[in-house]
Structure 1
Amino acid sequence: MVYWTILVVLCCMAFPTGVLCNGYVLFVTGCRMERTSSAVWFLNRAVSDFIFILCLPLRFIFIFIPDLDWARRLSSTITSLHMFSSAFLLTAISIHRCVLTAWPEWAQKHRTASLAFWEGLFVWALSAGFSLRYGDLCEFLPSTASTSMHFPLDEGRAKVAVAIQFLVGFLIPLALIVISIFYIIHAARLRRNHPIQATQPLKILCSLIPTFFLGWLPYHVFYFLQLSATHPPPLLERGSAFACVLTYVNSCFNPIFYLTMEEEFLRYQKCAHNPDTADQSRLEPAE
């Protein structure tokens, strides 16, 4: 009883904190920032966190009213949408910084905010496609709650869903992100005497990666464990509940890193307007 009370308290703290912090981030990145491709990417990432944390009450609805299958399906689909969109957007941000590092002149001309906007729409469409196809299956893995469901469980499709969500929504994006970050760091060391603009938001990106890894790894691990158990023990169900709560808490920490962007962009603008320190190859196009 104490364990579930702690989880409820964490959720009650995460909901107002996440809504307020992510709402402020949306205002900062959407209204006060210079409209660059990086700002567009981080804005999309903040939108994903805001939608996810805003739907936290749905999880309480089907927990306390198990017969509401629509609430369980909707909450599962939104969770899956947030997982895929977060992974894809973070991957896109990493690749964008990598391209800006490798080909700064080309990126200055072609990596515009308008292009990032359309690429962001594609990422959202791709995330929605995966979440609508498999997002409703992982919540229906064998558990004590599933006995109240009014539909049969397709165990084969559930296994496919778990595998695809882990590979496409976690492992592959994480590998691409790590490769991009290593390349950026390697390029920064080679150009130690000429710092490049692509490394300025690097500390934000390096902060988001551990939170993404720690926030979603338990989620996938417990779903794999839950899938292998016909009747999961109470300890496994508690672990799965904690993993879900951890994803919401993760959405509250992300705004802390986003807000540092304001300082980064102000410093960048000041440097860009100073002919003694600015380097045209380091500028990122704005629209």
Structure 2
Amino acid sequence: MEFPVLFLVLCVMAFLTGVPLNCYVFFIAGCRVERTANAVWFWSRAVADFIFIVFLPLRFTSFFILDLNWASMLSSTITSFHMFFSAFLLTALSVDRCILVAHPEWSGNHRTPPLAFRMVIGMWALSVGFSLRYGDLWESLLSTASTSMYLQLDERRVKAATAIQFLVGFLIPLAMILSPTFYIVLAAKLRRNRLIQSTKPLKILLGLTPTFFLCWLPYHVFSFLQISATYPQTLLSIGSAFACVLTYFSSCLNPIFYLTMEEEFQRYRQRTRNSQTTDNSGSEPAE
């Protein structure tokens, strides 16, 4: 590799930033998972981000030690799992925010931590299923150590795996997220008397969604370039490596965004409680 120093610096920055931040968010959200559905979402995201970024040294090692195929396969499978789970969680979160705006009363009565936890378990299961289904192929997509292995794999299966990653882990979730987001934007403009309930979910989506899709877009771009075999392998290897590093930085931005919003969320809850005239259920207010 011709860029070990810069690549090493970026990996160290992502690791040293992401691990403590995600541990802190994991602790904060973990203290509240039994009280709010919102905490369940962020707790599960912190767990996935922590698992993803703690294996960054293994990913870095697999780029430079070419005979560690098991390390490349393991780290690539974990990368795939994190991508699918993040996309599924963002989709569920966007629907959750949309329901908060459209039916706040119903959401206050039915949006419970146990329901959110069951949904998280289901998303974990789906993510594991997609990751293990093509576990032997993920390494061939964006690994510089996989040139010889790629030649031994079924080309059609590799292309199918690339398409599944892009469709299920990026394009379809993006399309499903845009519709609830547009609805929340429209609600924020039309329901001036309920602006406090409409803009808060909008800020959550406008913060988390671009972070995920912009950080993962180069990953998918280089996946398709990798299987096209029409570009120099050296350039593809360099681009793929930096695309992988960018995905780790998304796990650093998520906890920063959550911690920034946490203080605002507490003020929001206080304003909501003060403005409520009738609230006998004691359920969680709209977030």
2:67–2:145 Cα contact (<8 Å) kept: no
Judged with a 3 Å threshold, the aligned counterparts in structure 2 of structure 1 residues 261 and 36 are, in CA distance, closer, same or farther, namely farther
> Within 5 A, what are the aligned runs for 1:1-287?
3-31=3-31, 35-141=35-141, 145-149=145-149, 152-229=152-229, 232-274=232-274, 277-278=275-276, 285-286=283-284
TM-aligned CA deviation for residue 172 of structure 1: 0.6
2 CA distance for matches of 1:29 and 1:141?
Answer: 34
CA distance in structure 1 between the aligned counterparts of 2:227 and 2:259, rounded to whole angstroms: 38
TM-score, normalised to structure 2, is 0.90
- Residue segments in structure 1 that go unaligned for 5+ positions in a row: none
- CA contact 1:40–1:117 (8 Å) conserved in 2: yes
Give 2:40's aligned amino acid.
Answer: V
Q: Give the distance between the partners of 2:106 and 2:143, measured in 1 at CA.
A: 53
**How many equivalent residue pairs?**
284
CA displacement 1:118-167 (0-9 Å, x = unmatched)? 01100110111101112431321497633454992111111000000100
> Could you list the runs of 4 or more consecutive aligned residues of structure 1 that deviate by over 6 angstroms after TM superposition?
none
3-state SS of paired residue (1:67):
coil
Work out whether residues 144 and 231 of structure 1, in 8 Å CA contact, stay in contact via their aligned partners in 2.
no
Offset at residue 34 of structure 1 (A): 7.8
Alpha-carbon shift at residue 242 of structure 1 (Å): 0.8
Superposition TM-score, scaled by structure 1 size: 0.90
Instruction: Tell me how far 1:28 sits from its aligned partner.
Output: 1.5
Relative to structure 1, is the Cα distance of residues 258 and 135 closer, same or farther in structure 2, using a 3 angstrom cutoff? Answer: farther
| Unaligned residue ranges in structure 2 (runs of 5+) | none
- Aligned residue identity for 2:94: S
CA deviations on 1:77-104 (whole Å, 9 max, x unpaired) are 1000000000000111111010111122
The 1:58–1:142 alpha-carbon spacing in structure 2 relative to 1, beyond 3 Å, is closer
What is the rounded CA distance, in whole Å, between the counterparts of 2:168 and 2:26 in structure 1? 27
Distance apart, 1:68 and its partner CA: 1.8
Report the 3-state secondary structure (helix = DSSP H, G, I; strand = E; otherwise coil) of the residue aligned with 1:194. helix
Which one scores higher on RCO, CA 8 angstroms, separation ≥ 6? 1
Please give the alpha-carbon distance, in whole angstroms, between the structure 1 residues aligned to 2:172 and 2:282: 27
* Percent of aligned pairs sharing the same letter: 64
CA contact (8 A) 1:29 1:43 kept: yes
Range with greater deviation from structure 2 (199-208 or 241-250): 199-208
Offset of residue 39 of structure 1: 1.7
SS at 2:193 equivalent: coil
Question: Contact 1:142–1:227 at 8 Å: present in 2 too?
Answer: no
Residue deviations 1:165-221, cap 9 Å, x none? 100000010111111111111112121122253531422321111111210000000
Contact preservation (8 Å) 1:37, 1:111: yes
Q: Is the 8 A contact 1:142 1:229 kept in 2?
A: no
CA contact (8 A) 1:218 1:243 kept: yes
Equivalent-residue separation in structure 2 for 1:75 and 1:172 (angstroms):
24
Q: CA RMSD in A?
A: 2.5
* Conserved? CA contact 1:77–1:131, under 8 Å: yes
1:224-273 Cα shifts (integer Å, max 9, x gaps) = 01101077431121111110010011111111111123213311331243
Tell me which amino acid in the other structure corresponds to 1:256: I
Equivalents in 2 of 1:144, 1:52: separation in Å? 19
2-side partners of 1:194 and 1:147: how far apart?
Answer: 56
C-alpha distance 30-144 of structure 1, shift in aligned 2 (>3 A): closer
Matches of 2:277 and 2:205 in 1, distance apart? 23
